Chain A
Amino acid sequence: MNSFDLQNNAAQADQLGRRMAAALSQSALPHDVQARLRVARQQAVAMAQRAPIESLQPVVQPTLALGGGGSVPERPPFWLGLGSAMPIAALLAGLIFLGGFHAQDHLQTLSRIDSALLTDDLPPSAYTDSGFLAFLSEQAVAEEEAAGLEEQNAEPNAEPAAPDSPQAQAPHGQNPPGGQA
C-alpha cells in the first residue's frame, strides 16, 4: 500500500489509521507516568465519593405549609420573586430620580447664569476684553482703598459714642456729684 492507493480509497486510509493507533496504544507508558496517572485518577474518584449526596440531587425549594397540600412546587411562587425584586426596583427608581433631579438643578443654574449675562447692560463679549478686565481689577482695588479710608474716618467718631463712661465726662470739666461736698 502506498500513498497513491490511499488517495484512491479513503476506507483504506481509515483502516491504516486504526492500525497505527492500535500500535500506538499497545506501547506501554513509562512506569512513573502510569503511577502518576493512577494517583490522579484515585484523587478524582475520591473526590467523587466525598461529594455530598445532596449536591447531586435536584434542589427542592422551601415552601410555606399554609395550604396543607402534599405537592411540592418545582418553582418558587410568583409573588416571592416579585417581593425579592421590589427593593431592587425601588433602589433603581430612586437612583433614576436623583439623577434626573441633579441634572435639572444643574440646568437651572446654567440658565440663571445665562439669563443674568444676557439681561445685563454689559455685553458678554466685554468679559473677553483684557483691557476691561484690567479696568475691573483697578476699580476693585480703588473700592477697597475707599472702604479702608471710610473705616479709619469712622473710628474717631466712635469714641464719644459712650457718654456714660467717666473718662468721657472728665474733659468737659464737670466734677462728680460727691466732689464738691
Chain B
Amino acid sequence: MATPKEIDTFLAESEKRAFRRIHFHVKDVDAALDIVQDSMIKLVEHYAGKSVQELPMLFQRILTNTMLDWFRRQKTRQALFVNLGDLSADDESDDPQEWLLTGEASEADNPFHTIDGWQQLGILDELIAALPARQREAFLLRYLEELDVAETAALMGCSEGSVKTHSFRAVQALSKQLIQRGMKP
C-alpha cells in the first residue's frame, strides 16, 4: 500500500507530464488543470491501497477516462465531433493533412538547429499539437510518459502494431516538419 509520502512523490514526478499530455489534447489550460486535479483525487480516493508500482498505469488510465468524460461533457460541435471522434477512431489510413506543411522558413533564416532551439521557439509544442489525435496520444504515451508498447496499447485500447504504427508516423511527421522548417532533427 502506498503511503501519502510515496503518493506525493509519484504525483510530483508525473504532474507536469500529465498536464502536458492533457493540454495537448484539450488545448485549454484551465480544463487541463481541472482534469489533472480530478485524476489525482480519483487516484487517491480509489487506489490509495495499491502499491507504488501500480500507480503509473492507474494514473494514466484515470487521466484518459477523465479527459474523455470532459470531451463528452462538451456541447460544442468541435469538441464532440472532432476531438472525441479522432480519439475513438482507430485511424490507420493516411491523413492527407498529416503531411501538410505549414512552415516556409529556410535553414539560413533560422538560427535554432538544436533541440533546445525547437523548444525556445515553441515549435515542437505546435507540431505535436497539430498531429492527429491517435498519433499524438501514442507519441506522448510512448516517449513522454515512457510507457512500453504493450502498456500504451492497453491504455489506447488498440493492438501493439497500431501503437507502433501511430508512434512511428508521429515521429516521421514531426521529423518531416522540422526539416521543412530548416531544422535538423
Contact = CB atoms under 8 A, between A and B. Distances in A.
Interface string B107-131: 0000000011011000011001000
Nearest to B30: A36
Dominant SS among interface residues on chain B: helix
Interface residues of A, number: 35
A7 interface: yes
A47 B20 contact: no
B28 interface: no
B172 A37 contact: no
B150 interface: no
Given A16-B171, A37-B33, A40-B33, A10 B119 contact: no
Interface in B1-16: 1, 4, 7-8, 11-12, 15-16
Interface of B: 1, 4, 7-8, 11-12, 15-17, 19-20, 29, 33, 36-37, 40-41, 43-45, 48-49, 115-116, 118-119, 124-125, 128, 139-140, 142-144, 146, 164, 167-168, 170-172, 174-176, 179, 184-185
B4 A48 contact: yes
Given A24-B128, A41-B11, A16 B175 contact: yes
Contacts of B184: 1
A45 B179 contact: no
A20 B146 CA distance: 12
Interface string A21-63: 1111111010001101100110111011101000010000000
A7 B45 contact: no
A18 B29 contact: no
